[in-house]
Amino acid sequence: MSPPSNAGSPSVWKDSRPTSARRPSAGPRTLRDGGPRSLPRRQGTVWLYLNHVRPALLEWSNRYDHLREVTRDDVLTHVKKLHGHHRRDQLVALRSLFTWAKRAGLIFRNPTSRIKVGQYEYGVIQPLVPAQVDRSVAAATTPAARLILALAAVHAARARSAPSCSTTSTSATAG
């Protein structure tokens, strides 16, 4: 079954909002049901992808009549405004959309190709101040809690300071 001729049009994607009662377009249907060379995705994944690409498609639908007109610069300009996991999630969803559109023959060139998603940057782990450590030790009243605290301390310790950790305060025999 071939996709409808206007399936690549942003207005079709614009009108396929989650609140819309219209027939879903071919891209989300292929994601949901799978295709000859793709596995079906969970319905939550399909909605997540649609919700991630929706802002970009709404922005581009004001300027363009077809997905073929979207360029790599448009994608870069759109994702430049985003940071962290929002940027990564939108890029992944846009890649999925444009990969499907290229495979379905709706576009000739994938504008998201060779755009690096990048590594997810985790927050810097800060060491605890002595007052926080003292509160944790005071709160660990049971042997199980002391063991958990000791394991957390050993695994959080830097490699050079781990051998100097004392285990006398965490023994099960100490009251």
Q: 14-63: per-residue pLDDT in tens?
A: 454 433 233 336 666 666 677 776 667 677 777 888 888 899 989 999 99
pLDDT for 138: 93
Q: Are residues 26 and 82 in the same domain?
A: yes
89-106 average pLDDT score: 87
Residues 67 and 3: beta-carbon distance below 8 Å: no
Q: Are residues 165 and 99 in the same domain?
A: no
pLDDT for 144: 92
Number of domain units in the chain = 2
Q: Are residues 134 and 80 in the same domain?
A: no
pLDDT for 50: 84
**Count of CA atoms in the C-beta half-sphere (13 A) of 144:** 0
Q: Are residues 28 and 97 in the same domain?
A: yes
Angle, nearest 10°, between helix axes 143-156 and 130-139? 150
Residues 11 and 18: beta-carbon distance below 8 Å: no
Calculate what percentage of the chain has a pLDDT beyond 90: 26
Is 5 a member of any domain? no
Partner residues linked to 38 by β-bridges: 35
Q: Are residues 99 and 144 in the same domain?
A: no
Range with the poorest average pLDDT among 5-19, 27-41, 131-145: 5-19
pLDDT for 23: 35
pLDDT > 80? residue 170: no
pLDDT tier for residue 121 given thresholds of 50, 70 and 90: low
Per DSSP, 126 falls in state P
pLDDT for 129: 87
Is 120 a member of any domain? no
Q: Which domain holds residue 156?
A: 130-170
**Count of CA atoms in the C-beta half-sphere (13 A) of 15:** 12
Q: Give how far Cα 170 sits from Cα of 7, 127, 132, 152, 158, Å.
A: 65, 20, 17, 12, 19
Distance, CA of 16 to CA of 4 (rounded, Å): 14
Is 119 a member of any domain? no
Residues 29 and 4: beta-carbon distance below 8 Å: no
pLDDT for 37: 64
**Rg of the chain taking only CA atoms, in angstroms:** 26
Taking the complete model, does pTM exceed 0.75, yes or no? no
Q: Are residues 55 and 99 in the same domain?
A: yes
* Dihedral of alpha carbons 158, 162, 164, 167, sign: positive
Q: Are residues 14 and 99 in the same domain?
A: yes
pLDDT for 34: 74
Q: Give how far Cα 125 sits from Cα of 36, 100, 129, Å.
A: 46, 39, 13
Look at 170 and 133; give whichever has higher pLDDT: 133
Distance, CA of 143 to CA of 125 (rounded, Å): 27
Domain termination site, one of 62, 84, 103? 103
